[in-house]
Amino acid sequence: MKNFTIAILLTAAYLFFSMEVNAQEKNPVVRSNKYTIVIHGGAGTISRELPDSIKQAYLSSLKKALQIGKDILAKGGTSLDAVEKVINYFENDPKFNAGKGAVYTSAGTHEMDAAIMDGRDLSCGAVAGVEHIAHPISLARLVMEKTPHVLLAYQGAEKFAKSVGIKLEPQSYFDTPERLKQLKEYQKKLKEGKHGTVGCVCLDEYGNLAAGTSTGGMTNKLPGRIGDSPLIGDGTYANNKTCAISCTGWGEKFIKHTVAFNVSALMEYKGLTLKQAADEMIYKQLQPGDGGLIAVDRKGNYATPFSTSGMFRGVATSSGTFKVAIWK
Ligand code: ASP
C-alpha cells in the first residue's frame, strides 16, 4: 500500500512538472506565482480638458485590456499570449491607433505596423505597411513562429497572411470618423499628429519576458513610411537577461536613438536599473515631447516614463497592483 501511494505521488509530480515544461518548451523553468504586465495605448498631446465621458471611456478600455492580460498570466499563461491578446483587444477598439481605428496616411489610406518579441531566445516577428489585416500583432507572431524571417512588409506580408488562412479586410474596415477628422485637421495644420499606438510588456510566472507593439503609425505619414514599432530594437524589444520594452511617440526619433535596445543595453552593459535606463533614453537622449515607453524587467520591476503631456497606460502585478492612468 505504501509503495502504491509513493507511485501515485511520483506520477502526479511527474505530470505536474511535465505540464509546466510543456507550457514553456523552449526554456523549461519552474513556475513561480509572480507576474507583471504593463500596457500602453499611446503617448501624445492629451489635453487635461478631455471631456469626462471620453476620459472614462479610455480608462475603461485600459482596464479591460489590462484584465485580459492579468487573467492570462494569473492562470499560468505565457507572456507572449498575454501580449498578443491584450493587443488584439486594442486592435478591435477604434479609440486606439492600431487595427480598427488606425490613423490615415496623407493619401487617406491605412498602413499598419506591428512587432512581437520573445525574451527567452530573442525570437521575434514583425509586419510593416499591412493594409488589410485586422490584427497585425497576430500576423507578426506568425512571422516569428512560421517563417525563418523577422520582418515582412506590404504585399509580401499579406500574401503570407493569406497562406496561413488570415482573412484580408477591405480598407474601409479601418475607417473611423475621429481619425478622418484628425487627418483633415492635420492637413489644415490645426493639430499636430496624434498618437495612440498600443503596446504590452509582460513577465510571466516562468520568468519569461515578452513585448509587443501595434500601430497605424502617424497621421498624414507618407504612404510607405515605416515607424519604430515593427523595428526590433527601436520600438519593441525583449530579452530575458534584461527587460521587455514597447515604445510610443515620434517613430523617427525612436529609430535614430535605437531606444528599446538601448534601454536593454544600458542595463546589460552598464548595470543601470530599469528605471535609470528607461529615464536615460526618454528624458536625456530624446527630447521633450518625443514620446514614452513601457518596460518590465526580469524581477518584475516596471517603468513608464514619457515626455508628452500624457500616455494612456496601465500596470497589474501578482502582488495586487492594478492601475490605469493618462497623465502624470
Ligand atoms: N511610434 C509610432 C510611429 O511612429 C506612433 C506612435 O507611437 O504613436 O509609427
Please report the pLDDT score of residue 189 as a whole number.
Answer: 76
- 218 and 262 in a single domain? The answer is yes
Residue 172 sits in the same domain as residue 315: yes
Binning pLDDT at 50, 70 and 90, where does residue 170 land? very high
Catalytic-residue membership of 197: yes
- Cα–Cα dist 179/198, whole Å: 15
Residue 14 belongs to domain spanning? 1-28
Instruction: Please check the confidence at residue 144 and state whether its pLDDT lies above 60.
Output: yes
What's 221's DSSP letter? Answer: B
At residue 187, the pLDDT reads 87
In the reported structure, the alpha carbon of residue 43 is separated from the centroid of ligand 1 by a whole-number distance in angstroms of: 9
Same domain, 172 and 204: yes
Shortest-distance Cα residue to atom 9 of ligand 1: 217
The verdict on the CB of residue 119 being under 6 Å from ligand 1 is no
Q: Are 67 and 7 within one domain?
A: no
pLDDT at 61: 98
Evaluate whether 114 touches 129 at the Cβ level (below 8 Å).
no
Q: What is the mean pLDDT of residues 59-82?
A: 98
41 and 173 in a single domain? The answer is: yes
Are 236 and 258 contacting, i.e. CB atoms less than 8 angstroms apart? Answer: no
pTM of the shown model: 0.91
Residues 258 and 309 in one domain: yes
Mutate to test the pocket of ligand 1, among 39, 215, 312 (most ligand atoms within 8 A of CB): 215
Which CATH number covers residue 267? 3.60.20.30
286 and 270, same structural domain? Answer: yes
CA of 196 to the centre of ligand 1 (A): 7
Ligand 1 touching residue 229 (CB < 6 A): yes
39, 21: one domain: no
- If asked whether residues 146 and 275 sit together in one domain, one would say yes
Q: Do 118 and 141 belong to one domain?
A: yes
**Spatial distance between the Cα atoms of 258 and 268, rounded to a whole number of angstroms:** 15
Dihedral, CA of residue 235, residue 91, residue 76 and residue 203, to nearest 10: 20
Distance CA 39, CA 251 (A): 18
For residues 173 and 246, membership in a common domain is answered with: yes
Neighbours of 219 (CB within 10 A): 23
How many domains would you assign to the chain? Answer: 2
Q: Is 195 in the pocket of ligand 1 (CB under 6 A)?
A: yes
- At residue 70, the pLDDT reads 98
Q: Are 181 and 78 within one domain?
A: yes
Distance of CA 141 from the midpoint of ligand 1 (Å): 19
Percent of the chain at pLDDT above 70?
A: 89
Greater confidence (30 vs 126) lies with 126
Q: How far is the CA of 152 from the centre of ligand 1 (A)?
A: 18
For the Cβ of 218 lying below 6 angstroms from any atom of ligand 1, the answer is: yes
Annotated active-site residue in 36, 78, 105, 197: 197
